[in-house]
Every structure is written in C-alpha cells, then in structure tokens.
Amino acid sequence: MHKESSGSARQRQDVLTALTVAAAALLLALSLNFVQPAFASADKPITTAAQVKDASEASGQDLYHRGYYKAAMKVWKRAVEEKKDPGAAFRLGEEYFDAKVVDRSITDAVKYMMIGADGGDPRAQMDLGTYYDKGWGVKRDPKLAAKWYKAAADNGKPDAQYNIGTMYEDGEGVEKDQKLAYAYYLMAAKNGFPNYPAEAIKRLSKTMEPADIKAASKMAAKMLKSQPQEPLAPAVEAESMK
C-alpha cells in the first residue's frame, strides 16, 4: 500500500488552494462583468425629464421632491400634452399660481386648472371653484364657482363640501336650500374638515325643522357612501369662503 509523503500531501493541498482561489476569482469576475452593471443602472438616479419614460403626476412629483423643479415641470407638461393627465395639470396650475419655482402666471394657472378640473381631479375642481369665487384670473362667477365646488365636493373633497354648503345656505350661485347646505356641512364634518362645518350645523339646526334635519342627514349618509374619500391632504389648502 502506497503511503503519500508529507511533501506530496502539502503540494496537493497547495494545488487545491490555488484552484479554490482561481474559482473564487472567476466568480468575482463574472459578478463584476454581468451583475454589477444591472445594479448600477437600477441605482442611477433620475434627474432629468428626458430620463422619465412614463410622464405622469407621480413621476414629476418624484423629481420635484428631490429638488429638480424644472425637470418636474417638463414632465408634468409632457403628461398633460401626451395624455391630459389631470393630476399633472393640477400640479402645473398650482405652481403657476404659487410662483415657488416659476414666475407667476394666473393665465397659465387657470388654463391648467381647467384641464385638471375637466379631467376629474378634485383638487383642481376645488381650486378652479375658488378662482371663480374670488375672481382670480377670471371674471367672478358664483354659478361657475358653485359648479366646481360641487364637483369637488361630490368627489370627496371636504373643504369643497363646506364651500358648496355655504353657497346652498346663502343661495349664492345656486338656489337656496337649507337641507342641501346641512347635508354638505355634515359631510365636511365627517370627512374631517375642522371647525367651520360644526358651527354651520349648529347655526342651521336652530332654524330647520327636525324632519328636515333628519332628511338632510339621510341625504348626507347616502352621498358619503357613493363618493370617494380624499386619499391625501392637498399640497396647498385652497382658501375657504367663510
């Protein structure tokens, strides 16, 4: 029986070690050549509008939050041009009105808010209603203010629910209707709009018949079930009417 000398055993161990190191080096090389570029590409931050493949409110907002304001505006404009994205239109209208990162342009603010409102964005509907209510960039028009406040209210916007409630209570832009006013105030309160709805409900309760209050409450409950809830607080709260 052959007995391996200690020298040959040590030599074989050295060869095995060398093979192990070589295999590890090969695996590392493969990793660097094939895996690293994929991660590098995925980790590369998007900083320009040209890098954004799918222009939308969300993709523009990502750039905006990271301080790339001009790129965000370009993405939002592309989203409006390519697919009339109502959320992107709202963001553009908001920026042109607030003048934080662009020069103020009430004309552009109204233009984009109209696109957003027509597209069903409740934030744009609320703000467009405010423009018509206050006469900001447009001729003051209570009927159009009420139209857009109601659209936003029926889309779950609590501040708009309060505002259209005041218009029904006062008969401004709409026919006076205490029950509808009470119903919208109740919805605004249930949706978390602070202070004003509770005061308005208390005020109307003193002049309304119990049967009318009950009917208005049922009306509010029915409307609440059929409308979406506002998912996020608006970036800039529109000014309330009262």
Please say whether the beta carbons of 162 and 236 come within 8 A: no
Q: Establish whether domains 53-119 and 122-230 are of one fold.
A: yes
The structure's pTM equals 0.75
Domain 53-119, second-level architecture: Alpha Horseshoe (1.25)
Q: How big is the CA angle at 205 (ends 242 and 132), to the nearest 5 degrees? A: 25
Specify the 3-state DSSP secondary structure of 211: helix
Instruction: Give the angle subtended at the CA of 26 by the CAs of 22 and 30, to the nearest 5°.
Output: 170
- Specify the CATH number for 122-230; select among 2.40.128.20, 3.90.1150.10, 3.40.50.720, 1.25.40.10: 1.25.40.10
Amino acid sitting at position 194: P
**Per-residue pLDDT reduced to its tens digit, 182-201:** 999 999 999 999 889 999 99
Half-sphere CA count of 113, side-chain side, radius 13 A: 28
> What is the rounded average pLDDT of the residues 47-60?
88
Domain ranges of the chain: 53-119, 122-230
Is the predicted pLDDT of residue 229 greater than 50, yes or no?
yes
pLDDT higher than 60, residue 42: no
pLDDT given at position 29? 45
CA 97 to each of CA 53, 189, 236: distance values in angstroms, whole numbers, following the listed order = 27, 28, 11
CA dihedral of residues 201, 204, 208, 211 (deg, nearest 10): -10
